[in-house]
Structure formats: C-alpha cells, structure tokens
Amino acid sequence: MKKDDENIETGKKESICLPESALPRIIIIGGGFAGLAIVEKLRNKPVQVVLIDKNNFYQFQPLFYQVATSGLEPDNIVFPFRKQIGRSKNIVFRLAEVIEINAKENMVVTNKGTINYNFLVLATGTTTNFFGMKNLERNSLGMKDIRDSLNIRHMMLQNLEQAAITCDEDERDALTNLVIVGGGPAGVEMAGALAEFCKYILPKDYPEYPASIMKIYLLEAADKLLSAMSENASSKTLTYLKNLHVDVMLHESVTDYDGEIVRTKSGRKIYARNLIWTAGVKGQMPDGIDKQAIVKGNRLKTNEHLLVEGYKNVFAIGDLAAQISKEMPKGHPQVAQVAIQQGRFLAKAIMEIIEKKPLTNGFAYKDKGSLATVGKRRAVADLGKLKFSGYTAWLLWSLVHLMSISGFRNKLLVGLNWAVSYFSYDKSNRLIIRNFKRKI
C-alpha cells in the first residue's frame, strides 16, 4: 500500500491510500443497483476498481416502506460493501463523500482526499425532489435512504404515543392522520402497508380508541395511480386501496405544508403531523460536471454507450443517466432493472475500450415487467402482454424481491419475517429507540 501512488496518465499525487497497481483504474461513485452491477461484472478483470460511497453498506430500496412501517428491521435490507466485495483482489472500497470531479486532471476530490482515475463511472442515483417548496422540504419526510425510513417510523410512533396522551381531539386527529404524496410504487406500497398497520396493529396497541381514528390520505397530481403501469394495474390498485379505507385523491397536488396543515392546489386543508413525500426525485451528482450535460430532472445526458456528453472517459448509469432517443425522449425509466442492465453493459463496454476492441451495439433496455404490492396478498403485475393482479401477483412480487436481496442471512430473515406476518399480521419492531426531530 502506498499513499502517494502516482497515476500512470496524470502523474498527480493522491492522498487516499490504495493498493499499488499498474492496471487501468476505474472509479465508481455510488453503490446502488447500478454501481454494484458494474462492480460484479468487473470482478477479477485486468483493471483496478475503486468503489466510493458515503455509506459502507448497500441499501435495498424497494423495501424501505417495510422498515418505515415496522415490518422489517434496517439490517434486514442493508449489506456491507466489504462483505459484498469479499476477497476480490482487484476491487477496493473507500468510505468517502465525493465533493467534486476535476475531469481535466482525471481526479475525484472527496472529503477524505483525492484519487486519480482512467475511467469514471457516476452511479450516484437520485434524491428527493421537493420542487423548490421549502416548507415541504423542512416539515415532511422523503424515502430515499434507510435513515429516512427510520425517521418515518419514529415520527409515526412518537405521534401515536402523543395522541394517546392528549385530551385535545383536534390535536389527536392531526397526530394520527398520515398523508402520502405521490401515487407511484413507493407511495402506493407505503399507503397499503400503513392501512394494514391501522387495521391490525392499532387496535392491539391502542385499545383506548378505534382504528378509524387513524386516517390515511394518498394524494396524486395525475389522473391515475402507477402512471407507468397499465390501466388494469392502476384501476386494481385504486380498488385495493379504497377497500383498505385509504382516502385516494387524484388530480390533487400539494402546495404547502407547515408541519400542521397540508394545503392543496384545489384549496383543501388536511390537518396532519405526518407527511411522507414520494412525489418526485432528481439526480444527485458532485460539483464539477459541465452544466451543458445536465438535462431535465438533473440527469446527465449520455450517448448510447453511456458516455456523458462532452467527456471522453466519464460515464453515467442508473437513475442519474439520461440516454435520450426517439424511443425514449425522456431517457429510460428510473427503476432498478434499468440500473442493473446498464451496469452490466458498461462493464463490457469499458473492457472493450481498454482492450482496444470495437464497441458493440449501444445499450438497449429489456423491459422485464413491473410489479407493485398493495398490502398483503394484493399486488399488480405487468409482464409484457400479460397483466394480472391479486394473490398470484403478490406471490410473484414476494419471490422477486426476496431473491433480489443481497446475502443469504438477509434473505432468510426477511423470509421469516414475512412468514410470521402472513399468519399473524403482527409487527414486532414497534420500538422508539431515538427521538425524531423535524428539520429546522
């Protein structure tokens, strides 16, 4: 190991210690679906791979809502990067937050020092987009990180406990009302899980008042839920949520939230101390990227080989990448399957560049279908021309998500939790182990 190892091309000094290597260095920023997919494909290849992330663990985002509603513990759906990498000799992980990209000098600047690269892959994903509404950003919670899920859990449980204490009926209503903004998969799945919590858990834990006291609102600005899925999936989801007594409001957008009152474009007011925002995301990236490469949604415009426009050795994959074409005028959908396929494709493309081989055809997304669940035993599935819902779709959703979780231990724990919950509807993780405080 050598701290000031010189990069072959730039001759610049590094302050982050890395193993000595004469191999081309590929830096990958971000260890989500896309980042880990390319890391796996570059395992044992004649390159040095450096994975940088501000966390030391991978997060399985599709199940954040189950952590938020006390169905799973956070360590069931996170997995240490170092365990993921194992003993791969050509892969290195460094815990650091990337601050800036200096493309002219092929350098990544982090809060722990600098690293030079031959190839750079940006897989930094997205963050919650509040569309400039500062009050909403200050008083609501997004769901883009495992910490967000825990904040939602603690906010809800603390408010339920306060509701049991107060003698003010208006305050009790506000403390027990939950508003979810955004009718995509995250919002729909959260609404379904909260509705089941309200139906099966609330009467056990809080027998002093009926389950009907806890009202769940789902607000969607468009005219349908799950807008990226079929009409059948959308209408079935709406029916499932209504059967669970979720108040679904379509054509309704939020304009303000002060922590007490949710205000909508139509002039409606909802008194609630709990607001979960799943209505939008935007790309997140370090400073230093040419603004001409940034397109709508704060994404990076790439060519068919995922090379960022205006750069010779900087690539983007996953939710951050916008490969715009006639078929995809807004870029590919920001879903896990796109990220995984792009990561695998780019690993092959970079190796072709290194080996001076002709590049194969550009990236083409193969849509394997979409799934969304609405509580237990209810889900919708779009698999090409095959569209179905109900118990079969729920079984498929459960199998796909269980097999996608990293690590045998995590698969086992999640499977056991689901099995117990299937028969009992119980959630055993309703613990307040830290105080949730709103942003100031």
Query: Do 118 and 232 belong to one domain?
Result: no
Considering the domain architecture, whether residues 228 and 269 belong to the same structural domain is answered as: yes
Give yes or no: residues 321 and 197 share one domain. Answer: no
Whether residue 222 is found in the same domain as residue 303: no
Rounded average pLDDT over 383-410: 92
Same structural domain for residues 236 and 325?
Answer: no
- Average pLDDT for 1-13: 44
Same domain, 244 and 344: no
Both 291 and 303 in one domain: the answer is yes
Task: Mark which of 261, 279, 297 sits at the end of a domain.
Answer: 279
Return d(Cα 77, Cα 54) in angstroms, integer. Answer: 17
Within a domain: 212: yes
Both tokens of 347, joined, read 């690993």
Domain assignment present for residue 408? The answer is no
Q: Is residue 393 part of a domain?
A: no
Q: 239 pLDDT band (50/70/90 cuts)?
A: very high
Q: In angstroms, how far is CA 113 from the centroid of its own chain?
A: 27
Q: ∠ at Cα 333 (330, 337), nearest 5°?
A: 150
What CATH number is attached to the domain comprising 256? 3.50.50.100
Judged against a pLDDT cut of 70, whether residue 10 lies above it is answered with no
How many domains is the chain built from?
A: 2
Rounded to whole angstroms, the Cα distance separating 123 from 121 reads 6
Mean pLDDT of 15-25: 93
Provide the pLDDT confidence category of residue 205 given band limits of 50, 70 and 90. Answer: confident
Q: Are residues 321 and 344 in the same domain?
A: yes
What is the C-alpha to C-alpha distance for residues 103 and 29, in angstroms, rounded to an integer? 14
Structure tokens at 229: 């899925």
The tens digit of pLDDT for each residue in 56-106 reads 999 999 999 999 998 888 989 999 999 989 889 999 999 999 999 999 999
> What proportion of the chain, given as a percentage, has pLDDT over 70?
95
Q: 274 and 141 in one domain?
A: yes
Strand partners, 247: 217
Tell me the pLDDT band of 14, cut-offs 50, 70 and 90.
Answer: low
Q: What pLDDT does residue 161 have?
A: 93
3-state secondary structure of 113: strand
| Pairwise CA distance, residues 317 & 348, whole Å | 13
Q: Decide: 200 and 425 in contact? Cβ < 8 Å.
A: yes
Give me 361's structure tokens. 């055809």
Residue 199 has φ and ψ, to the nearest 5°, of -75, -40
How much is the pLDDT for 262? 97
Domain final residue pick, 263, 279, 295: 279
Same domain for 325 and 216, yes or no, is no
Higher pLDDT, 338 or 437: 338
Could you read off the pLDDT of 151-163 as tens digits, one per residue? Answer: 999 999 999 999 9
Q: 261 and 312: one domain? A: no
What pLDDT digit, counting tens, does each position of 322-369 carry? 999 888 899 999 999 999 999 999 999 999 999 999 998 999 999 999
Domain that holds residue 274: 134-279
Boundary (domain end) residue, out of 296, 328, 354 = 354
Residue 213 CA, chain-centre distance (Å), reads 31
Q: Measured between alpha carbons, how far is residue 52 from residues 83, 94, 317, 339, 405 in Å?
A: 15, 5, 15, 17, 21
- Same domain as 140, residue 163: yes
Instruction: List the CATH number of the domain containing 110.
Output: 3.50.50.60
Tokens describing residue 42:
């570059």
Residues in the chain: 440
Which two structure tokens, joined as six digits, stand for 337?
């399957």
DSSP string over 401-423: HHHHSSSHHHHHHHHHHHHHHHH
